[in-house]
Chain A
């Protein structure tokens, strides 16, 4: 969790950063600008001949504040949580990229579900709950923003999906259709491959996984065969490594042809 600092840091000078982005906000004078600091505060500056470094410093101060990288000493303690609640929503995957679907009507060949597992206590952006910035000036901060590392007490061992409606004549209601689904991490596209992951891979990657600031696991699940009927619905059973099983059922999916 300790962020490495790319530049040598002296602890004598700190600058306030006003940033619109959630980046490390602790700023320190690095060796690169020591000469400016020295020139500005040195006794020699009282001599008339030394005005130029002052002028340069004043003119560059805005740039300096923006370009000096901050280094955070993040040693936040690991926070443990439990997956004990699930949420199923629908995904529109008829286009090039999957996106949230407000309705419940899907293409016959594009049945897609988003599965989220979380701790019912919540922990979304947990560090933000613990630390707040200046009132009315929320993105300004003179201290580090360190995400809280989180780890689930039990990881996902198996995803079992059962169809509650027939998918085709060969796949009647009640069939275990886990092998007919593939998945992806919600934000995992184009990180080296555009292909889907198997459900086994989705489970495996949760083992010993450290989540940053949010104890939420989120998958997208995609049905491979076309649905031959007008409706579909799935029951999903998630087996955890501590032998608990989380069950959930999708809403009714209307199939568009």
Chain B
């Protein structure tokens, strides 16, 4: 699973870089350029209501602590680059409390036109990856999965705490408007995000206590592209600067909302691999929300774009 996740992640990253380069190549010759760095801290909430899955596994019921609601701190850092008046790009990474780089954002913005002397509109594309932790607790009320065999209970041979991370990569297209006034710059937009949880597989080994019976349950998920709304808002203020150097603060917020599910194929083998039944299970899609708000500082070298 790790290899497949890694290769898909690399492919997505390469695609994002390619899109970045194509857009950059298409850009007009930059009249002015600026390079920036940012460091943000934000709060992220992932919410997905726990639903009754009728005894079947629904992996999204087991996000984080399984309450359907998780709030985490995210430390993000990255760089931005403005090429001329119309194009800007940024690439950033984020880490949770485990201090492992597990989030990625690659953004490009194109200012398409003027609404008023101080306001413009444009289009933003974002390639992003959100990791989620799944702590599955396998249903015990389903006879075929666990149940009783000749009066003995089937126990899970793996007594370790089960937890794994699943990535949710996606690409967003967001029309936005921006407004600049002196040192203040505001922008907001809303669009859609196309994403899919990366496939993964899980295995449960069951053994009859006091008996020989062994049963193996395998879950294998696949891609399930889903469209969600994606809304962003940014406010930044230049606080200090000299010449073409600027130090400022920035606040950002994002909201992603859509119906998500993780379908899977479940195989149950009893005694030997030859005695296997397979079933395709698609839990009902339920509202899935990612909300994030935070801010930080930025440094910029060069002329401000807007």
Residues of A within 8 A of B (CB): 93-96, 107, 109-112, 182, 190, 193-198, 222-224, 226
Picked from A112, A190, A193, A197, the residue with its CB within 8 Å of the CB of B212 is: A112
Task: Kindly supply a per-residue 1/0 record for chain B positions 265-304, scoring 1 wherever the CB is within 8 Å of any chain A CB and 0 otherwise.
Answer: 0000101111000000000000000000000000000000
User: B211 contacts the other chain (Cβ, under 8 Å)?
Assistant: yes
Number of residues on chain B facing chain A (CB within 8 A): 19
Picked from A96, A112, A224, the residue with its CB within 8 Å of the CB of B157 is: A96
Q: Which A residue sits closest to B151, measured CB to CB? A: A109
Q: A194-B157, A194-B216 are in contact. Are A109 and B273 (CB under 8 A)?
A: no
Q: A195-B272, A197-B272 are in contact. Are A111 and B212 (CB under 8 A)?
A: yes
Q: A96-B155, A193-B216, A196-B272 are in contact. Are A109 and B211 (CB under 8 A)?
A: yes
Establish whether residues A182 and B211, one from each chain, have CB atoms under 8 Å apart when the complex forms: no
User: B150 contacts the other chain (Cβ, under 8 Å)?
Assistant: yes
Establish whether residues A224 and B271, one from each chain, have CB atoms under 8 Å apart when the complex forms: yes
- Kindly list the 5 A-B residue pairs having the minimum CB-CB distance in the complex, ordered from nearest: A109-B211, A194-B205, A222-B212, A94-B210, A107-B210
Picked from B150, B155, B273, the residue with its CB within 8 Å of the CB of A195 is: B273
Residue pairs across A and B with CB atoms within 8 Å: the count is 53
Q: Which residues of B contact A107 (CB under 8 A)?
A: 210-211
Task: Kindly supply a per-residue 1/0 record for chain B positions 216-257, scoring 1 wherever the CB is within 8 Å of any chain A CB and 0 otherwise.
Answer: 100000000000000000000000000000000000000000
CB distance from A211 to the nearest CB of B (A): 24
Q: Which B residue sits closest to A109, measured CB to CB? A: B211
Picked from A94, A109, A110, A198, the residue with its CB within 8 Å of the CB of B272 is: A198
Q: Which residues of A contact B155 (CB under 8 A)?
A: 96
Q: Which residues of B contact A193 (CB under 8 A)?
A: 216, 273
CB distance from A91 to the nearest CB of B (A): 10
Could you pull out 19 A-B pairs where Cβ atoms are within 8 angstroms?
A: A93-B212, A94-B211, A96-B157, A96-B207, A107-B210, A107-B211, A109-B208, A110-B212, A111-B212, A182-B212, A193-B216, A195-B214, A195-B272, A195-B273, A196-B272, A197-B272, A222-B212, A224-B213, A224-B271
Establish whether residues A196 and B271, one from each chain, have CB atoms under 8 Å apart when the complex forms: yes
Considering the chains assembled together, what is the distance between the CA atoms of A137 and B213 in angstroms?
46
Q: Which residues of B contact A109 (CB under 8 A)?
A: 150, 152, 208, 210-213
Q: Which A residue sits closest to B157, measured CB to CB? A: A96
CB distance from B160 to the nearest CB of A (A): 13
Q: Which B residue sits closest to A111, measured CB to CB? A: B212
Q: Which residues of A contact B152 (CB under 8 A)?
A: 109
User: B23 contacts the other chain (Cβ, under 8 Å)?
Assistant: no
Q: Which A residue sits closest to B216, measured CB to CB? A: A195
Question: For residues 149 through 177 of chain B, which have their beta carbon under 8 Å from a beta carbon of chain A?
Answer: 150, 152, 155, 157
Question: For residues 188 through 225 of chain B, which have their beta carbon under 8 Å from a beta carbon of chain A?
Answer: 205, 207-214, 216
Q: Which residues of B contact A96 (CB under 8 A)?
A: 155, 157, 207
Q: Which B residue sits closest to A94, measured CB to CB? A: B210
Considering the chains assembled together, what is the distance between the CA atoms of A109 and B150 in angstroms?
8
Q: Which residues of A contact B211 (CB under 8 A)?
A: 93-94, 107, 109-110, 226
